Structure 1
Amino acid sequence: MLKAMILRFARDRRGNFALATAIAMLPIMISVAGIMDLVGTSDDAAVLQNSLDAAGLAVGTKYSPGMTASNVRALGLTFFSANMSAADQQEYSGSVSNFSAAASGDASAYYISVSSSISRASFIRGAPSWPAHRSASVKLEPGAQACVLALDPQASAAVSLQGSTNVSMTNCVIAANSDASDAVNRGGSALVSAGCVSTVGGTSGLSLPNANLTCGTPLEHQYASFDPLADVVPPPFTLCLPVPNGNGKTYRLSPGTYCDKTLSGNITLDPGVYILRGTAIKPGGNGSLTGQGVTIFLMEGAQIYINANEQVNLSPPTSGPYAGITIFEDRGNTSALTLNGGANSVISGFIYAPDAPISYAGNSDMSGQGDCLRLVGKTVQMTGNSSVRTDCTAALGNREMYASRRITLAK
């Protein structure tokens, strides 16, 4: 009976057509499913690429050379996840994997590289999923050369130019990472001449005739400037050295570690690296602080306080791991750094206090000579007369500082 049914189906032309159609439809349906998978995977890959591009650019605005690899990845993942969720959190949940983010490069250009994979379940049940891998690379380039930088992200008047100060920084930028409306503030009869002013926020009082900027008007709402010494690590402590007896309060110190002292009078530092732990340098009336080729690390609350009637004459080493650095106040040290030198005072090199305010007062002698000086503080207040040079590559041991940053997609 079954044999007879098969023979009748074979002789029936309509049966032959149905069988042929069914057989022909199978590869067509597989092809259509494949096209749907291909188009869907292509769409998913486009969403993945857009999210990676956005994440890379966002990391570029926040990146600091001192960030660890894990911090870079965590920051990138935060931005990436937010972008993928905005695209369609439910659709892409569980399908994205292998996210990575890394930073490379040096002060001339940093690169942020991000990548991830996405997989799409096949339209055909049981078939392998369709994977896609995408990556993005963002290039960070420094802006113009800077001479003053305030790192506080929110402080009002993070850079303050007040009183009768006359600050000359031809071809050099004054920068502030604060987003306050008056991140750089000029007041009173203060005069400032600079290549430009660059801020994350706004500025106040920087118009002619009191402010003469080569760039014309301040550059407001810019990306934050790099911390130029973010990757510098202070040296390890050594044994605390005794302070030599001061003959009439005149001291000559050798390089090393000094602990829990207050030094006053006339202090001379031999060339080398000094680690001050809980120590204060306060020369006092008519005192002085002198050192050529020195780097002073202020640790555990150590501070330097130079008053107006005291003389300071400091310069950094021009080679070695701390080339160009004169004073380095350790991260977490909030002791105010005051450098109000009197007549004949000369300071050059990087003065660095990332978590403390810097108060700097120049004088007519400084203004006449022009110093290879770079001020980097949580906030910076400048008074008096100061002339800062920009052609300082040799004097600063090839260490530079730049305002803002340029961020572009490199890939």
Structure 2
Amino acid sequence: MLFSTGQKTKRRGERGNLVVITGLIAVPLAMIVVITIEMVSLSSEKARMQAAVDAAALAGAREMAVAGSNARDANGFAETFALNQVSDLSPRVAMNFTASQNANGGFQVSGVGVRGSFFGNMVPPGGFTIRVSAIAEALNQQPLCVLALPENEDDEDEPSGLVAQMTSSVQATNCLVHSNGSMTTQNSATVSAGTIQASRTAKGTGYSPAANNGALKVTDPFKGRAIRRNGVCLSTPPAPRTVTGGTVFTLNSGIHQEELIVSGNATVTLGPGDHYFCNAVTVKGNGTLQGTDVVMIFHDNQTFRATESSKISLTGRATGTWSGFVIVTSRDNEEQMEISSSLVDRLLGTIYLPNAELLINAAGAVAEDSKWSVVVAKDIILDKKARLVINTDYTGSGVPVPIGVGDKKLNSNGTRLRQ
């Protein structure tokens, strides 16, 4: 086909316009592609820095949980740790990390990164600034002194875990009070401790400091211990041993088949060692039960009751398998251990009731004269005017603290990010 000169000129003009238009479109398209790539890269770098401070905060919290650690060393360790996680970004991002402990006991790591922006750092001016932060906490930073291990909480009418009612109170200065379920205060009851936390919900008021909800569960520190002695208890027990009047009696350690009842003004002294009770122990009236370097272990469904004006003064085992323990129940024991006397002045050691309930409804202080006490029970119920006093003077008591509680807490529960 033949084209006139005018037509040829027109076609060349159209092609020229198309080239110009394409060139005009290509420049912004290229800029959009570059900006998109850069923004994706920026997002990736921020995510990397966030992961770095998360990991560093957890590492710093773990460092602070180790005995003998100090804040300065932990801070430096965490800052270096964070920088090492993203060292490959340093050619294009100038980064700085700072670590510190905050007032709430958390370990915080913050990071700031500056990287180049578009058009010679003009958009935005000075380049992009990346800010990241994480707060972690070490679980069980304080001595673990009260631990409730409720099985379930399906019955809302029967609160479980740790329950304080009427004007009762728990006083556990500088240590951790924890429930793996809920925690409940009713009426004017109070709970005072170094840290108070519940894995579900802390209900009611009277917590000092405020209780933390949603805490991770604390593993039963003694779950691997064998307690029950198979085949040692008679199917038909002998008649109860009743010690009454003004009798003074010493009960040597060993396996006790009969029920023990101490009443009147009688005094029973437990000889040093392990006392395995196949039946219940009741101390009432003005009776006294005392012993040093002893542990009372209760067979299936056998109870311990200290009632009326009875006096209890027990110091736990200093040596042996049950070193550090003072009262223990078998895992098949689901009974209630009751302390309703206000003259229970000393329970030095660990009370371990893995599936039993501890009821304290005394009209005064319990365990106040103990250098230290630890309570681990399925449910812990305080009622009336009872005041459970938990001391933490672990040194010089003569009774070693079992691994997993007190100042011998395990770090196996690790750390968690709070924010």
TM-score band, normalised by shorter chain: 0.5 to 0.7
Matched with 2:322 is 322
C-alpha distance after superposition, 1:333-371 (max 9, x if no partner): 111111223236322211111111111246656576455
Q: CA offsets, 1:199-247, max 9 Å, x none?
A: 11011123xxx3221xxx3221121112122122237466889887847
In the other structure, the counterpart of 1:268 is 269
Q: With CA pairs under 8 Å and 6+ residues apart, which has the higher RCO, 1 or 2?
A: 1
Partner of 2:163: 160
- Residue identity in the other structure for 2:147: L
- Measured on the aligned residues, the alpha-carbon RMSD in Å equals 3.1
Q: What are the residue-to-residue correspondences of 1:109-124 with 2, within 5 Å? A: none
Over alpha carbons, which structure has the higher Rg?
2
Question: How is 1:10-409 mapped onto 2 (pairs within 5 angstroms)?
Answer: 143-155=141-153, 156-178=159-181, 183-206=182-205, 210-213=206-209, 217-234=210-227, 236=229, 246=243, 248=245, 250-265=248-263, 266=266, 267-277=268-278, 279-343=279-343, 345-361=345-361, 364=364, 366=366, 369=369, 371-383=371-383, 384-392=386-394, 395=397, 396-399=399-402, 400-401=404-405, 402=409, 405-406=413-414
Q: Alpha-carbon deviation of 1:315? A: 1.3
Q: Which runs of 5+ in 1 are unaligned?
A: 1-139
CA change 1:337–1:316 in 2 (3 A) is same
**1:370–1:187 distance in 2 versus 1, CA, 3 Å:** farther
Letter in 1 for 2:166: G
Inter-CA distance 148–398: structure 2 relative to 1 (3 Å threshold): closer
The residue type equivalent to 1:307 in the other structure is: T
**Residue identity opposite 2:164 in structure 1:** L
5+ residue gaps, structure 2: 1-137, 154-158
Q: Aligned equivalents of 2:151 and 2:255: distance in 1?
A: 33
Structure 1 window deviating more from structure 2 (321-330 vs 371-380): it is: 371-380
Whole-angstrom CA distance in 2 between matches of 1:339 and 1:291 = 17
Kindly indicate whether the alpha-carbon contact (under 8 Å) linking 2:228 and 2:331 is maintained by their aligned counterparts in 1: no
- CA spacing shift, 1:365–1:359, aligned 2, 3 Å: closer
Provide Cα deviations, 1:163-196, integer angstroms capped at 9, x if missing partner: 1123211111211111xxxx11111112321112
Change (3 A) 1:326 1:377: same
Cα distance in 1 between the residues matched to 2:226 and 2:331: 10
Give the % identical residues.
Answer: 20
- Name the aligned partner's letter for residue 307 of structure 2: N
For the 8 Å contact 1:366–1:387, the answer to whether it is kept is: yes
In 2, distance between residues paired with 1:227 and 1:394?
A: 26
Q: How many residues are treated as equivalent by the alignment? A: 259
* Cα deviations by residue, 1:354-399 (Å, 9 ceiling, x for unpaired): 1111112466565764551111111001241232112325544131
Verify the 8 A CA contact 2:145 2:176 in the aligned structure 1.
yes
